[in-house]
Every structure is written in C-alpha cells, then in structure tokens.
Structure 1
Amino acid sequence: MAAFALGALLSGGLVFAVTGPDSTERTADRLRTEAALRDKTQIKDLTALARTTRDRLAPVLEGLALAMPDGDAAAGPAAVTSADVGEWREAVTAAVASFADPPSGETATNVARSSLASAVRQLATTVDAYAATRDLRGPSAASALERAARQRSDALFTWSVGATALDAVNVEAGYGHQHVFLQAPPGDGALTPDTEPEGHHP
C-alpha cells in the first residue's frame, strides 16, 4: 500500500513536471500581469491629463469660436486682442508640453494618448495660423482664416478619436465610461460621446 502511494506521488509529480508551466511560461505570465497593472495606472493618469487639458483648452476654443465663427455667414468675427492670442498660445504650449515624453503602454492606450497629443499639437498650429491672419488684409486674410478654421476642425476631430479610444480603454480597465471630449461645433464631423452614463461599466 505504501509502495502504491509513493508511486502515485511520484507519478503525479512527474505529470506536473511534464504538463505544468515551466519557468519561461511563469515569467511570461508575471510580465503580462505586471503590464496589465501598469496599463491600468497609465489609463487613470491619461484620463486625468485629458480632463486637465480639456479644461485648459476650453477658453482657447471659446476664443477661436468668436474669432472664426462657424455656420453663420452673417456673424462676423469678434474683436480679439494680441493679449488674447498670447493667452491662447500659453495655454496650447502648456498643453503640448504636458504630453511630451509619454510612457510606453499597451497598444490601445498608446493610440488614445497619441491621438490626444496630436490634437493638441494641431490646435497649437491653429492658434499660430490664426495669429498670422491678423497681419493680412483682403482675400489673403480670408483665405488664411479659412485654412486656420480647417486646422481647428482637424484638431477637434483628432481629439474626438483619442477621446473615443480613451473611453474604450477605461471601460476595458474597469473604470467605466469616461467622456473627455472637447466642445466641437455642430456638424463639424467630430465623434461624440455615447449615451452611457459617466463612470458606468457595462
């Protein structure tokens, strides 16, 4: 009987040794777990950064909406001062800097971060393009202003792509829906948040 029990133990140990995970598999599992935990932290930090950036850019977009009104041919541009433009530049410069030197994360998180960062850079270009129009007159000014407005639309669309991706990774990470979208003019083509409540996890 004892010999049978010993044989069973030895046999079981042999089966585990043959079928159980080897050191390479255990290391791979550990690395995947660590990467997943690291990505969850990055998602949380990126969402906080996106919210801060959205709030920072809100006055810039409000000002640009007055300077380059959309959808109403009868509405002329509001008066914008050099000081206003200077404040916009400070805001977008700070926003661009906040996305510098990004950490390396999982693919979906990297896509969200890269889209948001690209949108911020495009908006900085929009502010520069608008500033350049202030020194122009006549048809040249109108043409340059139109290009600046298209750049703004591109920036808002790119941000909406990043915000959609950010929402998706938050849901996947268990944080629920996070709708960090910039205000875009109606019909501008930007993606919009879904109807799920903020923080809701399906």
Structure 2
Amino acid sequence: MSTIGIRPKEVATINRSRRPAPVRGAAWARVLPLAVAFALGAIVAGGVVFGLTRPDPIERTADRLRAESALRDKTQIKTLTELARGTRTRLVPVLDGLNRAMPPADGAAGPVAVTDADVETWRQAAAAAVQDFADPPSGETATNVARSSLASAVRQIATTVDTYAAARDLTGPARAAAMDLAVRQRADALFTWSVGATALDALSVDAGHGHQHVFLPTSPGQGALTPDAEPEGSHDS
C-alpha cells in the first residue's frame, strides 16, 4: 500500500488498527494450569480409589484357598462318615465277643467260653480297622480331631483284644489283673470313639449332610457319650 500523501502519524494509526486483537491470552494462561491440575488430580484420585478397593492379589489367593479348603473338608467329612460306618460294622462283632468273654464294666461275672479261633478273628478284624485309618489325609482342625479320636479308639480296641488274649494264658491273680486291664481298655476305647462320633455328627450337620450317628454300642456302665435324639440325616432347625 502506498503511503504517499499520508502523514506519518496517520500511517502509525493505520498500522495499529491492522494488528490482530489479543485472544484473551492472559485469561487462558491462568485457566490452563488449573484445568491440567484438576485433570491430573482426578486421574490420581481415581487410581487411589481403584487401588484401595481392588482386591489385593494375596487376598484373592487367600479367598480362593479358603473356598477350596471348605469344599475339600466337606468331602472329607462325608468320606470319614462312610469310613466310620464301615468300621462300626467291622468292630461290633468284636465288641460283642469281648462283652461275652470278659466281665462287664460293672464287674459282674459270667464270661462265656471263647476259642483261640474266636480271638484270632477279633484280632484280624481289629487290625483291618486300624489299617483303614492309616495314612489319614490332612483336613481342617475339627475334622482332624474327629478322625484322630476314631482312629485312637480303633487302636485301643485292638489293644484290648491283645490284652484279653494274653490274660487267657495266665492264671490266678495275674489273670484277674490282666482281665481287669482289658476291661478298662475296652471302656476307654468306647469313650474315645464316642467323642469322635459326637464331633463327626456336629461336623456333618455344619457341612449340610445332616445328623450322622456312627456310635458304637455301649452299656450304661461304660460312660461313653451317646447320640442325640435327632433323626438320622435330619438338620437342626
């Protein structure tokens, strides 16, 4: 554009009028840092909340292991109940024979004649029952206690048979002392079994299997625990 004929002051005025107007640069410069700070704060806060509420890997692993352990224990309780029932079936003839051959727990006399073959049959049955409880699986504490009580009772019954067999070969006071020992061992075995059976019954109810009564037959003088009055397989209300 030619400036001929235009005074210098007029040229300066024209040039100033053609400069672009500021686009609120100062205001935007103040707003931009605040916007960035707010966005970063939101991101950080969201990450913190997510990090705090998201399950920790260790917690997830612990929850999974607890669930697996509960399922495994429920299966073990059912398996142990079946084993206890089979063991009871195996040992009832042994206890019936011992009850006929030995004085009862109240000290009354009247044992019947027993052959060596009878005693050997009892020994074999008791030994098989002991073997059934050998190498037990590891489970929850309460299940382990119930299983250990039943296993201990089985071993005590096997010992009772051995003690009775030894007493048969004795005479006089020695025979009486050995027979008394066998009587006490039998009573201890039945009591120990009743403890395991009571614990197993409670475990079975808690596991959803209902009442399971696997008690061995006892006489009032033997002091063992007895099953409750709940029907077999029923659940507590």
TM-score (norm 2): 0.79
Which residue of 1 is the match for residue 16 of structure 2? Answer: none
2:164 corresponds to 1:101: no
Tell me how large the CA RMSD over aligned residues is: 1.8
How many aligned positions are there?
196
Partner SS, residue 125 of structure 1: helix
1:83 partner letter: A
Task: Give the Cα–Cα distance (whole angstroms) in 1 for the partners of residues 142 and 162 of structure 2.
Answer: 31
Give 2:208's match in structure 1, choosing from 142, 157, 174: 174
Give 2:189's match in structure 1, choosing from 131, 140, 155: 155
2:181 partner letter: R
Q: Which runs of 5+ in 1 are unaligned?
A: 1-6
In structure 2, relative to structure 1, the CA distance for the partners of 1:68 and 1:32 (3 Å cut) is same
CA drift at 1:13: 6.3
Task: Give the Cα–Cα distance (whole angstroms) in 2 for the partners of residues 185 and 128 of structure 1.
Answer: 22
Task: Give the Cα–Cα distance (whole angstroms) in 1 for the partners of residues 174 and 208 of structure 2.
Answer: 51
Which residue of 1 is the match for residue 228 of structure 2? Answer: 194
Partner SS, residue 221 of structure 2: coil
Between 1 and 2, higher relative CO (CA 8 Å, sep ≥ 6) is seen in 1
**Matched residues, percent identical?**
72
Which residue of 2 is the match for residue 68 of structure 1? Answer: 102
2:57 corresponds to 1:23: yes
Task: Give the Cα–Cα distance (whole angstroms) in 2 for the partners of residues 157 and 52 of structure 1.
Answer: 19
Give 2:89's match in structure 1, choosing from 31, 55, 65: 55
CA drift at 1:157: 0.3
CA drift at 1:186: 1.3
CA drift at 1:22: 1.0
Moved over 3 A (4+): 7-14
2:75 corresponds to 1:41: yes
* C-alpha distance after superposition, 1:179-202 (max 9, x if no partner): 100011112110011111111111
Task: Give the Cα–Cα distance (whole angstroms) in 2 for the partners of residues 175 and 8 of structure 1.
Answer: 52
1:81 partner letter: T
2:114 corresponds to 1:118: no
Give 1:91's match in structure 2, choosing from 109, 125, 136: 125
Which residue of 2 is the match for residue 4 of structure 1? Answer: none
* C-alpha distance after superposition, 1:85-144 (max 9, x if no partner): 000000000000000000000000000000000000000000000000110111211111
Which of the pair has more CA radius of gyration?
A: 2
